[in-house]
């Protein structure tokens, strides 16, 4: 992992070699001019999917950090700068790298940028591995149900995260990815912005409750195939 500064920009890279002009890697327009944009996903902002397989051995996803809520209508993407390691992109990059090195199924972090702006603020970007042939769990559940074994596997995955004392502050059904291949399905957790290590155990039940509410909400909103027997199987996997 390489960390360095160029003028008002700070970079983290998890690559064998550094790009000649590092800021270009965090600029969707640059990738578009190279004809390397292969897709996008809409959320609070746009996540861009980039063809980098010939450069890195896999494709990437580029995300800019945007504010939500009422403050986001006034201040779209600027955050108060205090400590570099606590900035949104550097913190998420470091946490993802910790989990990746622990063989937990998260996208590999590739790069992070913090760009200082006037009056003590910054904007941020992160570049991570794109999980191929994957969809979020709610998209799959709109079309079919999961087996008992699959629900148990998801529960075991969350237990593994909790055993590492990592609190996923936005644990919901959309942040579980299902990757399809010729042999089986693999489950991944994504979106670790504002997440981190947390001591003790009291928070873990509320983390599970949050996920349960998310499934219930999407059963009503998106008509996903989910029932209390599925949740019971997830808990079976969690407490196994």
Per the annotation, the verdict on 170 as an active-site residue is: yes
Residue 18, C-beta contacts closer than 8 angstroms, at least 6 positions apart: 2
Q: Considering only CA atoms, which of 95, 186, 179, 64 is closest in space to residue 131?
A: 179
Pairing of strands 121-129, 79-80: antiparallel
CA dist., res. 204 & res. 158, Å (int): 10
Q: Please identify which residue in the block is written with the tokens 């965090």.
A: 26
**Catalytic position from the list 16, 54, 77, 170:** 170
CA dist., res. 92 & res. 74, Å (int): 24
Q: For 71-113, give the DSSP string.
A: HHHHSSS-EE-S-GGGSHHHHHHHHHHHHHHTT-S-PPEEEEE
- For residue 23, the number of C-alpha atoms closer than 13 Å in the C-beta half-sphere is 10
Q: Looking at the annotation, which residues are catalytic?
A: 170
């Amino acid at each position: 992992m390489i960390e360095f500064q160029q003028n008002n920009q700070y970079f983290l890279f998890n690559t064998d070699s550094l790009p000649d002009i590092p800021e270009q890697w965090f600029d969707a327009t640059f990738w578009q001019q190279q004809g390397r944009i292969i897709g996008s996903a809409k959320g609070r902002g746009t996540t861009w999917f980039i063809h980098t397989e010939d450069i890195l051995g896999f494709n990437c996803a580029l995300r800019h950090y945007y504010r939500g809520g009422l403050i986001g209508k006034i201040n779209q993407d600027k955050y108060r700068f205090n400590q570099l390691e606590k900035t949104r992109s550097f913190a998420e990059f470091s946490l993802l790298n910790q989990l990746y090195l622990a063989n937990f199924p998260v996208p590999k972090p590739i790069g992070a940028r913090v760009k200082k702006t006037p009056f003590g603020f910054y904007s941020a970007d992160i570049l991570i591995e794109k999980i191929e042939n994957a969809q979020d769990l709610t998209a799959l559940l709109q079309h079919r149900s999961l087996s008992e074994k699959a629900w148990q596997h998801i529960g075991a995955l969350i237990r593994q995260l909790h055993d590492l004392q990592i609190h996923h502050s936005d644990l919901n059904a959309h942040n579980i990815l299902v990757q399809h291949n010729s042999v089986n399905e693999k489950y991944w957790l994504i979106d670790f912005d504002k997440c981190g290590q947390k001591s003790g155990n009291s928070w873990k039940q509320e983390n599970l409750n949050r996920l349960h509410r998310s499934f219930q909400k999407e059963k009503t909103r998106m008509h996903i195939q989910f029932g209390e027997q599925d949740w019971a199987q997830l808990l079976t996997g969690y407490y196994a």
